[in-house]
Structure 1
Amino acid sequence: MFRFASWFLFAALGIAGLADGALAQQGARRLASLTAGAVTSAPIGWVQFCGENPADCAERSPVARTVTLTSAAFAQLARVNLQVNREIEQVTDMDHFGVEEYWTYPVGGKGDCEDLVLEKKRRLIALGVPREAMLITVVRDLKGDGHAILTVVTDRGDYILDNFTNEVKLWHETGYRFIKRQSPTDPNQWVSLNGGAAGPQLVANPRR
């Protein structure tokens, strides 16, 4: 009887442990993915970019898509992030174009955070990564300044490609405050993130 009771207690504890582990994994998965909120305004730089590059803003999809994050897929994201960060000289729009905010693909091998994001997205699309899984995102960086990054939605969470680092990280590992990003089904529709405010209309700041 004692042996049976001991076995029953051991089994119950084992099941409870498995359940706790499953709940922890579910929590980790939820943490690894950003939560989209209400529709909000698009950055004025995106509106300007689309006016000049309508073909790059016309693609819509009936469904959202994700990247299956194999080791090869992750290596591809890291490689493109590193290549663009190294190849493009990072300068402010004011220094480059004489205006405070101007979104474009890098010109003359130079660009700021939004320009690098656009270039990374363009290169990854050319490599076969679904555009619906790559969302331009506006955040507040570690100094509280407006900043643009590229979010890649994967089956293992939302990963960030950033001109401030060559390391590809999950969104919650960046330390940023996430404000808004593109909708996965319509690049011209932007949604707030995790209850954040609508966010700054201007993204770049003088140190870019």
Structure 2
Amino acid sequence: MNTRYLDILKERRSIYNLGKNVTLPESDINQLVETAVRESPTSFNAQTTRAVILYGEKHDQLWDIVANRLKSEVPNEQVYANTKQKVASFKAAYGTILYFTDLSVVADYEKQVPLYAVNIAPWAEQGIGGAQQNVWTALADNHIGANLQHYNPLIDGEVRLAFDIPMDWELRGQMPFGSIEKAAAAKTYVADSDRFKVLK
């Protein structure tokens, strides 16, 4: 049995101690992200997932937007200081991938296949989840750490203006990525007997 893919899956972890010591060229990272998203399946091959890759000043700008936006959401300065520290750990990364769902495509398919219209949006959500996992795993295979954040919808408006995002693109996640400065802690698992059934 070939287990290479399974071995790579085991390398994909939420890495929170990220740095800028990435040696893979940005052009290669772009190709990796683009290929992983392009080849990820979607219902009816609707291809509803969109991605924006941020580096340098644009990456920093995103996390400044997050930090500033969260100030009005926390109860006091002590909590905000902790929040800023957390956001700073994402800003310390090399770059960020923004994931979007193109709602115009979702709406088109709801009209094209009315029998399944109620399922098109949930299926698009499954599609973007698959794309995120594939990108994350491909990054891990290249010794680049990442984690997945969800500051949407709080930051949606400012992100749209800052990065010229089309109105039909709905922000669904933010993935900071970079060098692995500290490995993830050991992962625990629920018992296989509680998770799987094999029937004949």
* TM-score (ref. length: structure 1): 0.27
Greater Cα radius of gyration, structure 1 or 2: 1
Q: Which has the higher contact order (CA 8 A, sep 6+)?
A: 2
Decide which structure has greater helix share: 2
Q: Which has the higher strand share?
A: 1
Q: TM-score w.r.t. structure 2 length?
A: 0.28
